[in-house]
Amino acid sequence: MIDGKKTLFSGMQATGNLTLGNYLGALKNWVTLNEEYECFFCVVDEHSITVRQNPAELRKRSRDLLMLYIAAGLDPEKNCIYYQSHVSAHAELAWILNCYTYMGELSRMTQFKDKSAKHADNINAGLFTYPVLMAADILLFQADVVPVGIDQMQHLELTRDIANRFNGVYGDVFTIPEAYIGKVGAKIMSLQEPTKKMSKSDENANASIYLMDDMDTIMRKCKRAVTDSLAQIRYSEEQPGVKNLIDIYSACTGKTPAEVEREFDGKGYGDFKLAVGESVCSVLKPLQEEHARLAKDKAYVDQIIKNNAEKAGYYANKTLRKVQKKIGFPERVR
């Protein structure tokens, strides 16, 4: 609780090009929830280096991502938008929590299994302990709620297990966080292989809509989206391609899947895909325009980066000091 408000924490990696999945599964819900909670939105640059990054590119992408949070409608005066690497308490708490997390737990994480298969030449210890850093992110801010897409649920469950374990030994130190999963858009699938998650790292550029794609590209990708030969617009597991397009359209327009089915009853896939493309453009165009405007206002963005790192550091260090004391680290001499 901060000033009588519950706390919300979430973050995104600045690796690769952000997709419509990141937006509909996470960022969009952040904007909906931000009035209700005291919010911390982090650009998790420390998570990014579990796979090799080009330094200049990482720096640029991190800033782009921070501006995107603001462009999406998060007021940086009200929401604490900051870089993870500017608050050293993240790494410090992660070390401590490493000592309360089991190898067996970490080796069960599906994202670790997937990523180590993909980067077989660089299975580093950071990739393995990555979920502990994520737990530290969340627990540092005593977050009550963590809005994420479905793919992060396993990491969130682990966070709760670590927090409960720690509380079991030392008393009520951490708030146990709850995941917030949006009703639609929590798992946006690939446009080319709709049984697979839409992902930044997909090699097929037609599989993902990137947040910075121009409008023609978005329309083209929607038109090329894989469907089926059933020729009916139904929200059903048997039609994963159509179901995914309904999810996208629902999330972009606010209509329920049942309303979408009714709207397109008897219509063809061509018309439907066109409408899906237009709905995506109507969401991403203003986002891109606002991002471009912010990119020109260096002084304003710099000020936000500075102020919010201080604010995040204040709350994070409060928790860290409490943890250090509970564990038995010697007190600081003032």
Contact residues toward ligand TYM (CB under 6 A) are 9-13, 21-22, 25-26, 44, 47, 134, 137-138, 146, 148-149, 151-152, 186-188, 197-198
- Least distance from ligand TYM to the Cβ atom of residue 147, Å: 7
Catalytic residue among 28, 115, 243, 273: 115
Residue nearest to ligand TYM (CB): 25
- Give how far Cα 224 sits from Cα of 75, 195, 272, 304, Å: 36, 16, 12, 40
137 within 8 A of 168, measured Cβ to Cβ:
no
Query: Is 200 noted as a catalytic residue in this protein?
Result: yes
33 within 8 A of 65, measured Cβ to Cβ:
no
Q: Which is nearer to ligand TYM, 97 or 134 (CB)?
A: 134
Q: Which is nearer to ligand TYM, 64 or 137 (CB)?
A: 137
- Least distance from ligand TYM to the Cβ atom of residue 13, Å: 4
Query: Is 255 noted as a catalytic residue in this protein?
Result: no
- Least distance from ligand TYM to the Cβ atom of residue 245, Å: 14
Tokens of 199: 């992902």
Q: Which is nearer to ligand TYM, 51 or 328 (CB)?
A: 51
HSE-CB for 12 with a 13 A CA cutoff? 30
- Least distance from ligand TYM to the Cβ atom of residue 266, Å: 30
Q: Which is nearer to ligand TYM, 80 or 138 (CB)?
A: 138
Rounded distance between C-alpha atoms, residue 268 and residue 264, angstroms: 8
**DSSP H or E stretch at residue 257:** helix 257-263
- Least distance from ligand TYM to the Cβ atom of residue 268, Å: 26
82 forms bridges with which residues in the sheet?
42
Query: Is 325 noted as a catalytic residue in this protein?
Result: no
Vertex 80: Cα angle to 79 and 84 (nearest 5): 145
Rounded distance between C-alpha atoms, residue 285 and residue 283, angstroms: 6
Catalytic residue among 197, 221, 243, 273: 197
Q: Whats the size of the chain, residue-wise?
A: 334
Q: Which is nearer to ligand TYM, 76 or 147 (CB)?
A: 147
DSSP 49: T
- Least distance from ligand TYM to the Cβ atom of residue 227, Å: 18
Tokens of 328: 């038995």
Rounded distance between C-alpha atoms, residue 292 and residue 285, angstroms: 11
Catalytic residue among 6, 187, 200, 255: 200
Q: Which is nearer to ligand TYM, 124 or 232 (CB)?
A: 124
Q: Which is nearer to ligand TYM, 10 or 239 (CB)?
A: 10
Cβ atoms within 10 Å of 290's Cβ, excluding its own: 16
Rounded distance between C-alpha atoms, residue 8 and residue 4, angstroms: 13
99 within 8 A of 132, measured Cβ to Cβ:
no
101 within 8 A of 162, measured Cβ to Cβ:
yes
Cβ atoms within 10 Å of 23's Cβ, excluding its own: 27
- Least distance from ligand TYM to the Cβ atom of residue 99, Å: 19
Q: Would you name the residues annotated as active-site residues?
A: 115, 197, 200
